[in-house]
Each structure stands twice: as structure tokens, then as C-alpha cells.
Structure 1
Amino acid sequence: MHSSRYREPRNTLPCGLSYLHHVLLKSKAGRPDHFRQNLRVSPATFDKLVKELERDPVFFNDSNHPQLPVEQQLAVALYRFGHNGNAASVQAVANWAGLGKGTVHLITRRILTAVLRPGFMQSAVRMPTPEEKEQAKRWVKKHSCHAWRHGWCFVDGTLIPLDQRPTWYGESYFDRKCNYSLNFQVCSRCPCLFFSF
């Protein structure tokens, strides 16, 4: 027992067919609505994210430990981020992607490392130009109350549910809807966030 740490022999969990490949190969081209339902972004946005992220050094390592293509890693992370409850469990994501649970953790860490780098944040998220602000004001005037025309920005708070209670200070994450969640605040112009790649 001291040498192996396990009393029973460990057996591997057989992996089924991956739905990940179907989403990337079939839904992306033929059914963008299904693609968006799985990954919560349009195929065009997904391609732009892949193009920006694939240059990040976190996706380069020695040839002894090859990684999945960045496209697949991003798809796994977006699927995980876009689901909650039982669908967001590591095992459920691993089953969807046809991967091991440890690989899902590694992929999530790599994607977050790349996305949170200051260079990516500065290039991807920006404030609108004066022309874009004016365009937004015209949109608000046309589609909403005329008095709100100068309200080209909005601030919205939303709760991001967590699939489990955080280990540290878990009670602090318990929200008014009786879930564990993070409060996420979005500041943007109407009608959508500005992302530039």
C-alpha cells in the first residue's frame, strides 16, 4: 500500500465519441445556431478568438508533451464556461469533448492564462470611438425612449453560477437566489460590447 497508494487496481474510464468534433466540423459550417448553443459565441467570433490566442506562448511547449490544437482547447473552455449545474461538471465536459478530466483542467487553465494577459485584454476590449458613440446614440433614439439618447453606455450586473461551493470563504459566494455564484458587472455601449481583433 505504501508503494502504490491504491488498494484496488485502477482502471481507465472508456471514452465515448466526442461531440466536440461534430460541433467544430459540422455545426460550425452548417448550423451556426447549434454552434452558438454549445459554445455561446458565433463561428466568426470563435475564429477571431482562435486567431488571436494561438500566438500565446502558453500553447507552445516541447514536443514530448504535444497539445491539442488551440481551436479544440478554446471550444472545450467555452463549452465549460457556457454551462452550469450538472452540465458544467468536469466529468460532463470531459464526456462532451472525449477527453480526460485532467485535460479539461489543463485546457481551462491555458485559455484563462492567454485571455487574461494584458496584451490580449488591451487589443480585444476597448472603449468606442466618438463616431461609434454617436452611432449608438442614434440606435438608442430609434429603438428606445428619445430621452435616453445620450445614454450610450450601460452597466449591467449578472450572476455567474458556480458548479460547486468555493473552498475558501464559500459562504461569501452564496447569493440571493440560493446558488454559489460570482457577481459579474458589464459596462458597455448600447446595443453590445465592443471587441476588436
Structure 2
Amino acid sequence: MYEQRYEQPRDTLPRGPSYLYHVLTALKNGRADHFRQCLRVSPLTFDKLVVALEQDPVFSNDSNNPQLPVDQQVAVALYRFGHDGNAAGIQAVANWAGMGKGTVHLVTRRVMTAVLRPEFMQDAVHMPTAAEKEAAKRWVKRHSNKSWRNGWCFVDGTLIPLDQRPTWYGESYFDRKCNYSLNFQVRVALNCFNY
């Protein structure tokens, strides 16, 4: 009993073929539109991301701890991040990738560790220059509410799912994905920051 984790034999979950391999070979090279549907980035962006991350020490292999290739790990993480609800669940991602749930969790953690390193963030995330902010302010003033002119950054189109149909004007909340949700927009004003 002390030598084994389980007293009873465990049933293994049969796995189907991995769709991950198909995405990284056939779709990436022949159907960029379907590749983008799966991973939410273009093949070019995906390749650049893999090149930027593959030298991170979190992906280093040793004989005791072999890892999947970095492109597969990034693809699994992007697939998971690009979906919501049940499709983003660890079991659903594991079924899509043809791997165990623990591997999905481990791969996601490795990719996030690499992405959140200060070195990567300095290269990948850039705040807009003063000229870019001013151009965005002019565009907002011309195309939107003039009182929003001092906002230079907008996040638009984020759907917040609701668990049920609202009582008042419920059909107004029915979105293009056949769910009830709120469309959320965030406004960031310059005076919130100390530049």
C-alpha cells in the first residue's frame, strides 16, 4: 500500500488521434485561415512567437525530463487561451492535443512562465509613443464621443457570458455565438497614469 498511489487498478482513458499534429502541419502550411481559427494567430505570428520563446530555460530538456517540442507546447497554450467555457477545459484541450490533462497544465504553465519573463515582456510589449497616443486621441474625437478624446486605449468586443437570459429585453443580449452576454468596452484615460 505504501509503494503505490492507488489500491485499485485504474482504467486508462482511451485517446483518439491528436488534432494538434494536423494543425501544425497541414493547416499551418496549407490553410492559414483554419490555423488561425484554432490558435487565434497567423502562422507567421506563431513562428515568431516560437522563435522568441524557444531559448527560454523553462523549455530546456534534460535526460530525466524530456519535453515536447516548443511549437507543440505553444500551440496547446494558444488553443487553450483562445477558447472559453467547456472548450477551454483541461480535458477538452487534452482530447484536442492527444495528451494527458497533467501535460496540458504543465505545458500551459511553462509557456506562461516564458511569456511573463521581464526580458520577453520588454521585447514584446510596447507602450505607444506620445505621437501614437495623440493620433489615437484625434481618431477618437473624430469617430466617437468627443468627451472620450483623452482616452487613447480601447478594448472592444469582449463578450462577458451570462448564465441565463436577462428578464428585461433578454433578446437584446443574444450574441452572434448564440449565447446571452454583455459586450464590454474599457476606456483608459491618460490622466490615470503618471507619464
TM-score computed with the length of structure 2 as normaliser: 0.71
Relative contact order, CA 8 A, sep 6+: which one is greater? 1
| C-alpha distance 146-80 of structure 1, shift in aligned 2 (>3 A) | closer
Q: CA deviation at 1:32?
A: 1.3
Question: Which residue matches 1:19?
Answer: 19
Amino acid at match of 1:86: N
Q: CA deviation at 1:14?
A: 2.6
Amino acid at match of 2:126: R
Residue aligned with 1:127, SS:
coil
| C-alpha distance 50-19 of structure 1, shift in aligned 2 (>3 A) | same
| C-alpha distance 139-156 of structure 1, shift in aligned 2 (>3 A) | closer
Please, which moves more after superposition, 31-40 or 61-70?
61-70
Instruction: Tell me how large the CA RMSD over aligned residues is.
Output: 3.2
In the alignment, the residues of structure 1 paired with residue 108 and residue 37 of structure 2 have an alpha-carbon distance, to the nearest angstrom, of: 19
Residue aligned with 1:47, SS:
helix
In the alignment, the residues of structure 1 paired with residue 122 and residue 92 of structure 2 have an alpha-carbon distance, to the nearest angstrom, of: 33
Residue aligned with 1:61, SS:
coil
Q: CA deviation at 1:133?
A: 4.7
| Preserved contact between residue 32 and residue 43 of structure 1 (Cα < 8 Å) | yes
TM-score computed with the length of structure 1 as normaliser: 0.70
Question: Which residue matches 1:46?
Answer: 46
Segments ≥4 residues shifted beyond 4 Å: 130-142, 145-152, 157-161, 184-188
| Preserved contact between residue 73 and residue 111 of structure 2 (Cα < 8 Å) | yes
Are 2:60 and 1:60 aligned? yes
Q: CA deviation at 1:159?
A: 6.6
| Preserved contact between residue 40 and residue 79 of structure 1 (Cα < 8 Å) | yes
1:41-69 deviation digits (Å, cap 9, x = unpaired):
11121111111111111000312221111
Unaligned runs of 5+ in 2: 165-183, 189-195
Larger radius of gyration: 2
In the alignment, the residues of structure 1 paired with residue 15 and residue 93 of structure 2 have an alpha-carbon distance, to the nearest angstrom, of: 12
Question: Which residue matches 1:128?
Answer: 128
Identity %: 67
| Preserved contact between residue 151 and residue 187 of structure 2 (Cα < 8 Å) | no
In the alignment, the residues of structure 1 paired with residue 22 and residue 163 of structure 2 have an alpha-carbon distance, to the nearest angstrom, of: 35
